[in-house]
Structure 1
Amino acid sequence: MTIAADGWTVAGVSKEAVLDGVKTVMALVRKNLALGEIPSARVYDWADLGHRGVMIDIARNYTELEDIKSLLKTLAEYKINFLHFHLADDEGWRLEIPGIPELTSVGGRRGLTTTEDEFMCQFYSGDGNPNSKTTSNGHISRSEFVEFLKYCDALGINVAVEIDTPGHSRAAITSLKARYKKYIESDPVEANRYRVWDSEDKSEYASVQGYKDNVLNVAEEGTYRFMEKVLNELMLMYEQAGIELPFIHVGGDEVAKNPWAKSPAVQKLMKEKGFKTTHDVEEYYISRIAEMAEYKGVKLGGWQEAAMRHAEKTDKFLRNKFAVVNCWETVPEWGGDSIPYSVANDGYKVVLCNVGNFYLDMAYNAHQSEPGLNWGGYVDEYRSWDCRPYRIYDSSTHKITGEPLDMEHIADGKPVLNDESKKNIIGVQGQLFAETIRSFEMMQYFFFPKVFGLAERGWNVEPLRYQSKSAYNNYIGTVLLPQLQKAGINFRIGMPGIVVKDGKVYMNSAYPQAEIRYTTDGSEPTINSKKWTAPIKPAKKIKAKTFYLGKESFVTEL
């Protein structure tokens, strides 16, 4: 990339590389807009990791497609180049599949019901009305999705759809049961075409989320007819858009324990195939789906469970049929931080989705007002920056509870990423599951500024010698957040720090230009409260807020 007085040029080894170079020039323009000029320069740059992605869930709570497009336009500026689109889960099915309208007419709506014959029961956000415009209801039409693929391609973003199976499939099962009831009297053949359950199954199980009816029956041929139908329709959508289908993500995660223990169909299958365990049955399912996809020239994606605990024979069969394995469980005290390297060493292509670094739906911190979850810890813009793709055991310095980890011995006895397997770490990805999403503004809040650390670590797997965490923080506060404000994009600002030292109260903010306003009588600080400029005397209750760029933080109390 060359910037000179008479203009600028970008050259690269691919269309994607040139587009990234153009985005760099545009970032320099935005940064220097007030000066009216950008400095002359010659830059040689490249991404360390090819996959720099986000996973966006609109199954659990729906977000309008126009809002997703707006978000992706912003993310593309930071060279995010992959969307893992989570469109089907227990609580919703959000993409039209021609020939199976029930998937969206039933699975795409939620409300008050005792039968779920017309729509699903009320989960999460919503008002009980399946026709109201809330995050409970909505889906993407086929034509809308085709145009969406074209839009993302113009941004330099590849899109892969996730249809989570065989667990996390309650919306599909509920929709197909409604379809069965509609046709059973008039057309029994059609009613049973996509029967993904065993009518004689008496199994009792519960998923991690507490569902007792969310696992496809993998002994039923209707399950494979259904998956083939969905795959065929997806392939046609990508073909019409003129976009290559990168892979279809089939989930494979969090299948409940012993979900087919009392299914005559599965017990018969196990006897015929000589299977001994539930895992053998899961291997059978994922292998059949992989074979089906391979026949059509399509690869699979899956969560880490889809590539774990297999016999070598199964790994040998599967590894070249998978484009991506998303590894998320990296919590040291759970013993999961070794999983990504184990999967990479087994020959699978791994995208790091570390829960403690890249789960954007985790709350920023433990403050009672912060939205989000905390089962995997807390994630802010510093935790995302802390990830070290080739030194994964150094990516977390504290336990979920906040206790420090023994970093000197953190990697003892754990798998090492060997040189041959290093190339199998192909990217990083931020996940935004939607259980707690209630609006698009809330989605933006979770993304910004957390996503900046993800974008940085996808481009440079290690900080460059001038890239300290303080410099990163300063760039966020002085450049990136003001740009978001100017663009009308919602974001979070951090709370002030308060400490007592030598009998005085000190405060600080992550942003040098911000104001800290405080009270000493227990009342809520406002923009008109006292401004902190120097140490003050301790008081019975001090409350403080950061005020910056027209926003205010949550309260810090002392």
Structure 2
Amino acid sequence: MSYRLDLTVIDKKENESRFALSLHNLTDTPLQNWSLHFLFNRFVRAETLSKGTISQTGSYCTLTATDNLPANGLFYTEFTVGTAPFTLYNDGILDAFISLASTAEYIKPLKVDISTINLDQPAVERYNTPLPVEAADIALIPKPNKITQLQGSFHINQHTAISTPPTLAQGAVNWLQAELNTLLNENVSVNQQGNIHYAVNKDLVDEGYRLLIENDNVWIQANSASGFVYATSSLLQLIPSKPSHQADSTYQLPMVDINDKPHFGYRGMMLDCGRHFHPVERIKHLIDQLARYKFNTFHWHLTDDEGWRVEIDAYPELTRIGAWRGPNEVIAPQFSHIAQRYGGFYSKQEIRDVIAYAADRGIMIIPEIDIPGHCRAAILSLPDLLIDPDDKSVYRSIQNYSDNILSPALKGTYSFISNVLSEICDLFPAPFVHIGADEVPVGVWTDSPACQKFMAEHDYSDPKELQGHLLRFAEEVLEGKGKRMMGWEEATHGEKVSKNTIIFSWQSEQAGLECIQKGYDIVMQPAQATYLDLAQGYSADEAGVDWAGKLPLDKVYNYYPLSDLSEENSERKHILGIQTALWSELVNNQSRFEYMIYPRLLAVSEICWSDPKHRNWDDFKARLKGQLSYLDKAGINYRHCE
């Protein structure tokens, strides 16, 4: 250890905290003309710094001092942030390095070790969810509408084969065959003599299915490709984690008769790949689990301030520049990997491959291209097209950026939106495209002569109408490509988009209700109940964030959208379904990725699928107990409940 950084809470009020920052030089060599670079997810009030000067872009802070740092010496300063007291170690400094003035043109980072933040608070015991000693005999999640356990069992082994399926079931059969090939370590055949049978039943609702497991045969009936997938997911869950006969790899399944259908039509998960890049294999593994637990939508958040992750032929700079960040890149480091080049993107061929993979598993992929905010990676990649040099507007986004909003007064903005969305529509077959539209800060466009002229020409009185203008343009582009627009609730700002736009309510339940009352269809995704980046307990060492509170497993399971609305209320028809989300500011590896998702994803699956009157917390815990052996076998790093 050569350099060590400490951060300590020294004073805290309801919405303000003061910190002491100490940098220790543990070497025998003094540092001259040095600066400290560190990642901190709160906005540091520069004027409160007791020693030195600081600049901040997003989470990336550069602290410069005029004094040398003596050998075996200490630099000490204090600063204030305007947020509630911290409760999690993840709130502290995430990464840091030292650079010297002699290397300012090309930074050569000097590693700094970081101590765990001193939160100045008593320790809190880890929050647990005790599970029953015995797992449920039939541990299906989500809980089927109707299930009858029969006497006897069906054996899956090397003699198992799949009967030649109808075309509608081909995707489900592809998935089942792939899973059984892995399970049995040999290829399972598809032929007319198979004992797992798929058949179309026109009497079943589109997403419904019937699964009948008898002693010698498995019968699967559905009236849609998705129905066959959901029956297959139930079949796969009924396969035990260990064979009953090790010698011939025979797996014994209980005989059951299941009739099932979903409660909500839209059952989704959003993954943020902008803040941290998640490789294709990680995406596919997640899609496997979404299919297993009967989700039908993967919402792929592909662009943000910190990274552009999708190949666009019209603008190769978006991935050549915008997909990468680091101390010597156009985009500064954010969130992690501060001392190195970090990033990545998906080629169009990789995306097509993922789309096909998901389709076999009944998962529709909806892309998100975030506009007009969260566009810093795009703006810095295409400055000649997207920057208005005369715009002197002063603003700060919630993520601490002052240069991340597209200008509605530039012709380049419209060609950018049109070209990008056109390529996205051609790439993704889903009938929907999500355009973000969230978190445009106050102050944007207010000191831009071009924007003010634009407002006058269109008789706009509120800058929010400029946002609405851009979004209406995006909607028209999407309509021309046969797509329906989706957006976060701020898409309604400026009141320019049509009621055909589907709104995702993320800030609160009340926001969702207000959108319904304006006539929009909505997907409920309130952060307080569905954001998987929130900490799962109350102790300081819990991974995650807590800006919307803590989110333990029981709180997820007990969520029901707009519970104050009666089942008979006509406004309920506007609730298309539920979506959960993993924002990835602090998720930069497979282990953390899985820890934040599981087992809460299983609780979300049940609130999406199962009839509310069939939901029972104690029963769910018994079935969850039965699912843990699968998570163990799959090598998933879930948060243990006890």
Alignment TM-score, normalising by the size of structure 1: 0.73
2:357 aligns with one of 144, 151, 159: 151
Q: Which has the larger radius of gyration?
A: 2
What is the CA deviation profile of residues 187-241 of structure 1, one whole-angstrom value per residue up to 9, with x for unaligned ones?
Answer: xxxxxxxx22322101000001110001000121211111111112122323xxx
State how 1:138-217 maps to structure 2 within 5 Å.
138-177=344-383, 180=384, 195-217=385-407
Contact 1:52 1:80 in 2 (8 A): yes
**Amino acid aligned to 1:12:** A
Q: Tell me: CA distance 1:214–1:149, structure 2 relative to 1, closer, same or farther (3 Å).
A: same
1:444 aligns with one of 594, 597, 600: 594
Q: Tell me: CA distance 1:420–1:308, structure 2 relative to 1, closer, same or farther (3 Å).
A: farther
Deviation at 1:267, TM superposition (A): 0.4
Deviation at 1:421, TM superposition (A): 2.6
Q: Percent identity?
A: 31
1:109 aligns with one of 318, 321, 324: 324
2:620 aligns with one of 472, 489, 492: 472
Deviation at 1:111, TM superposition (A): 1.0
The CA distance in 2 between the partners of 1:197 and 1:417, in whole Å, is: 49
**Amino acid aligned to 1:16:** S
What is the CA deviation profile of residues 115-159 of structure 1, one whole-angstrom value per residue up to 9, with x for unaligned ones?
Answer: x5xx311111114332xxxxx311111111111111111111111
Deviation at 1:73, TM superposition (A): 1.0
Q: Within the alignment, does 1:28 sit opposite 2:213 as a pair?
A: no
Q: Within the alignment, does 1:17 sit opposite 2:223 as a pair?
A: no
The number of equivalent residue pairs is: 427
**Amino acid aligned to 1:52:** R
Comparing 467-476 with 448-457, greater Cα deviation is found at 467-476
2:455 maps to 270
Greater strand fraction, Structure 1 or Structure 2:
2
Greater helix fraction, Structure 1 or Structure 2:
1
Q: Tell me: CA distance 1:25–1:142, structure 2 relative to 1, closer, same or farther (3 Å).
A: same
| SS at 2:369 equivalent | strand
2:514 maps to 342
The CA distance in 2 between the partners of 1:33 and 1:424, in whole Å, is: 46
Contact 1:87 1:162 in 2 (8 A): yes
1:424 maps to 574
1:453 maps to 603
**Amino acid aligned to 2:599:** P
Q: Tell me: CA distance 1:199–1:282, structure 2 relative to 1, closer, same or farther (3 Å).
A: same
2:339 maps to 128
| SS at 2:254 equivalent | coil
Q: Tell me: CA distance 1:463–1:416, structure 2 relative to 1, closer, same or farther (3 Å).
A: closer
2:486 maps to 301
Q: Name segments (4+ residues, structure 1) moved above 6 Å.
A: 415-418
**Amino acid aligned to 2:637:** N
What is the CA deviation profile of residues 452-486 of structure 1, one whole-angstrom value per residue up to 9, with x for unaligned ones?
Answer: 1110001025141xx4212212221x211121001
Q: Tell me: CA distance 1:463–1:370, structure 2 relative to 1, closer, same or farther (3 Å).
A: farther
Comparing 293-302 with 28-37, greater Cα deviation is found at 28-37
| SS at 2:578 equivalent | strand
2:526 aligns with one of 354, 359, 375: 354
1:497 maps to none
The CA distance in 2 between the partners of 1:34 and 1:493, in whole Å, is: 26
Unaligned runs of 5+ in 2: 1-209, 246-250
Contact 2:431 2:482 in 1 (8 A): no
1:384 maps to 556
The CA distance in 1 between the partners of 2:483 and 2:541, in whole Å, is: 45
Deviation at 1:288, TM superposition (A): 1.5
| SS at 1:52 equivalent | strand
The CA distance in 2 between the partners of 1:107 and 1:143, in whole Å, is: 19
Give the alignment's Cα RMSD to 1 decimal. 1.9
State how 1:1-150 maps to structure 2 within 5 Å.
1=210, 2-30=212-240, 34=244, 36-113=251-328, 119-130=330-341, 136-150=342-356
The CA distance in 2 between the partners of 1:140 and 1:230, in whole Å, is: 15
**Amino acid aligned to 2:639:** R
1:318 maps to 498
